[in-house]
Amino acid sequence: MDRSSQAAFDVYWRCVRERLEHDFDRRLAQFFDAIPAADQSVVRDVLRGGKRLRGCVVILMNEALGGSPGAAFTRALAVECVQAASLIHDDFVDGDTSRRDRAATWTVLGPRRAVLLGDLMFATALSRAAELGREDGVVMARAIATMAAGAFQEPLATSDPARDAGPLAARLYPRLVHLKTGVLFGAAAQLGALAAEVSAPVAAHAFAYGACIGEAYQIADDLQDWLAAPPTAAQCPLLAPAVWHFCADGEAAERFGVPTPEHAERLRPLLRNRMEAAIGHRLQRAVAAADLLASGPHVGLLRAAPYAIVRAMARGGP
């Protein structure tokens, strides 16, 4: 992807991010009208500071398909609420105490109120999407349910190797990256298409476009987290699905289960190369999907967005 196209998307993303921040601030009280005004500041704090990449995908897809800009903002806010809610739950489950250089929500509100806040944000996003139309509600409900399925299946640091062993383990990693991240990016693109009132086949192409971006994003995130330095013993259970998937034809085939740090370190060059190839493959698929979706000035942005979004991940977090 040429630098001028990526620079154009970076400019577009910054502009859309500013528009989303302004619109979210203006609409938040109405969006969360079921909770007292005094408690809405908690939601505002949780949403503050995100990159708005998923919201930007909603806006870009809507505009690329000829939709009215105003039709996409409620959908973008709903998507960003789902993302923020998932991070609240993830931080608590994983025991992470910080997020975006701030204290994790569960350490501030306490575990119970943090989990309930995440539930509230999921439910509100789903309710607002359903108000826009049946298909919007279905897309949002499917995204939330699918993300929960991915979180439930993801290995933890305390994973039991015996439970996770077996030939099917090699299929787990691509499933996880789709469930955890691909689906919400896909839903963002599909909601943008629905805002433009396109046909069902076009909306399905939009989902495929977003899902490829999300999968590439998650693999790049995993690559950065796991392979920047030799894997630790705590990382090995989380690394295992990627090892099973990408290295099962090599040294990792000698055993299914959680690799030792020594084993993971021997596999690190092979794993890095194959994960980078998997990222590139998904980015190419996203660009191919973009070419099926739009023409005119926005097609260049659609083609540049996958590469720029993955690059944005490398600059720090979701």
Structure tokens at 192: 């943008």
Q: Considering only residues 86 and 232, tell me which one the structure prediction assigns the higher pLDDT.
A: 86
What confidence tens digit (pLDDT) does each residue in 277-307 have? 999 999 999 999 999 887 777 888 999 999 9
pLDDT of residue 252: 46
Q: Kindly give the residue spans of alpha helices, DSSP state H, lying in 235-317.
A: 236-247, 261-293, 297-314
Burial per residue of 157-192, b for 16 or more beta-carbon CB atoms within 10 angstroms, e otherwise: eebebeebeeeebbebbbebbbbbbbbbbbbbbbbb
The segment with the largest mean pLDDT, out of 15-19, 165-169, 252-256, is: 15-19
pLDDT over 70 (residue 82)? yes
Q: Of 94-108, 122-136, 155-169, 195-209, where does mean pLDDT reach its minimum?
A: 155-169
Q: Of 3-7, 86-90, 247-251, where does mean pLDDT reach its minimum?
A: 247-251
Bridge partners, residue 102, by sequence: 99
Residue 255: give its domain's CATH number: 1.10.600.10
What confidence tens digit (pLDDT) does each residue in 220-241 have? 999 988 877 888 887 787 788 8
**C-beta separation of 201 from 84 below 8 A:** no
* Count of the separate structural domains present in the chain: 1
pLDDT over 70 (residue 60)? yes
Bridge partners, residue 191, by sequence: none
**C-beta separation of 68 from 77 below 8 A:** no
Q: Give the residue among 223, 156, 193 at the shortest CA–CA distance from 294.
A: 193
pLDDT of residue 163: 46
Crossing angle of helices 200-227 and 183-195, in 10° steps, is 150
pLDDT of residue 73: 94
Q: Give the residue among 177, 197, 249, 129 at the shortest CA–CA distance from 206.
A: 197
**Checking DSSP bridges between strand 102-103 and strand 98-99, what pairing results, if any?**
antiparallel
By residue range, what is the domain housing residue 182? 3-314
Report the percentage of the chain scoring pLDDT > 70.
90
pLDDT over 50 (residue 253)? no
Arithmetic mean of pLDDT, 168-187: 87
Q: Of 61-65, 77-81, 121-125, 262-266, where does mean pLDDT reach its minimum?
A: 262-266
Q: Of 14-23, 29-38, 44-53, 162-171, where does mean pLDDT reach its minimum?
A: 162-171
Global pTM? 0.91
Q: Give the residue among 40, 144, 35 at the shortest CA–CA distance from 83.
A: 144
For the chain, what is the radius of gyration of the CA atoms?
A: 20
Give one DSSP letter per residue of 129-182, joined into a string.
HHHH-HHHHHHHHHHHHHHHHHHHHS--TT--HHHH-SGGGGGHHHHHHIIIII
pLDDT of residue 36: 87
